[in-house]
Amino acid sequence: MMTALPRPFARLWRRALVALLLLAASAPQAAPPMLLAGQYTQGVEVSRYWVSEKYDGVRAWWDGARLQTRGGQPIAAPAWFTDGWPRTVMEGELWGGRGTFEAVSGAVRSAQPDDKVWRGIRLMVFDLPEHPGTFDARLRALQQLHAAHPAPTWQPVPQWRGSTHEALMADLQNIVSGGGEGVMLHRGSSHYRAGRNDDLLKLKAADDAEAIVRAHLPGKGKYAGMTGALLVEREEDGARFRIGSGLTDELRRHPPAPGTIITYRYNGLTRRGLPRFPRFWRIHTPAPEAEKAAAAPP
C-alpha cells in the first residue's frame, strides 16, 4: 500500500507535472513534409496547371488536431478558431487580407492569442497532403470537405484553370495592381510529394526567395559593433551568400537568429547561379528557439 506524500511535496509534485505537460504541449514537432514551390518561367505549359493568388500570409499545416508552422512549431490559435474543423490534414496559408503579413506573423508567433487579431484571419486551404489522388481530385475533395465541415475560419483557395502565358501575365497584373503578391500554379495531374519541384510554381512581379540564416558577419565603419551582413543558405541547394542590403539599424543590432528563414529580393541570377543584388525583405519563419523567446509571456 502506497503512503500519501506530505502536503508540501504533493503540491510540488503537481506543479512539476503541470509544467512538464505544458512543455510537452508547446514543444515543436518534426517539420511537416510540405510541397515547396519552384519558379515559373515562360515555356511552362500553363494549361496543365491550376492558378490561384499567392497570398501574403504565413504557411500553416493542420494535422487534424492542431496548427503548426512550416518548421513544426505549434501555433497558439484561440480554441474557437479551429472549432468544427475536420480531422483531416490540410495545408494552407493563414491570411488576413492583402497587406496584413506583419499582423498575421505577429499573431502566429504569440503564445497569448489575441481574439481581436485572430478574428481577421482565415486559413486559406490549398491542398490535402494525405489524399492519394491527383491535384484535380484533391481540389474536388477539398470542396466536399468544406461543404461537410463549414466554418468561417477556413475556406478552400479559389482556383481557376490556366490557359496561356499571356493570360497568366494578365492575371498577375490584375492581382499585383490590387495590392496582391503574385500567382501560384499547381499541376493538375500531380500527386502530393514533399520538397521543391515543378508540380507547384510561383510567379511574382519581383524576384524573391527564401534562405536560412546561418551566421552574423561583423560590420565595419559605421556598422562596427553591429551585424554587417547575414550569411545565408539557399534551401534547395545549400548555396551560401551574404545579404547586407536592406537591413535596418535595428536589425543590425538585433539580427534574426541562426535558423531563421528570411525572404530576400534580388535581380536575376549570376553565371554561378547566385542571386544578383540580394537584399533583405522580411522574416519568413523565425527559428524555433527565437519563436519560443518571442512567445514567452513577460
Q: How far apart are CA 118 and CA 77, in angstroms?
A: 7
Q: How far apart are CA 162 and CA 29, in angstroms?
A: 36
Q: What is the pLDDT of residues 7-17, one digit of tens each?
A: 655 555 555 44
- Answer whether 98's CB lies under 8 Å from 180's CB: yes
Residues of the chain short of pLDDT 50, as ranges, are: 1-2, 16-27, 291-298
pLDDT of res. 7:
60
pLDDT of res. 64:
97
pLDDT of res. 151:
96
**Cα of 147 vs its chain's centroid, Å:** 26
Q: Where are the domains of the chain?
A: 35-204, 208-289
Q: How far apart are CA 78 and CA 154, in angstroms?
A: 14
CATH number of 208-289: 2.40.50.140
Structural domain 35-204, CATH architecture: 2-Layer Sandwich (3.30)
Q: Helix/strand/coil (H, E, C) string of 89-120? A: CEEEEEECCCCCHHHHHHHHHCCCCCHHHHCC
Q: What is the pLDDT of residues 93-108, one digit of tens each?
A: 999 999 899 899 999 9
Cβ neighbours around 252 below 10 Å, total? 19
Q: Given 3-state DSSP classes, what are the helix, strand and coil percentages for the chain, each rounded to the nearest 5?
A: 30, 30, 40
- Answer whether 126's CB lies under 8 Å from 143's CB: no
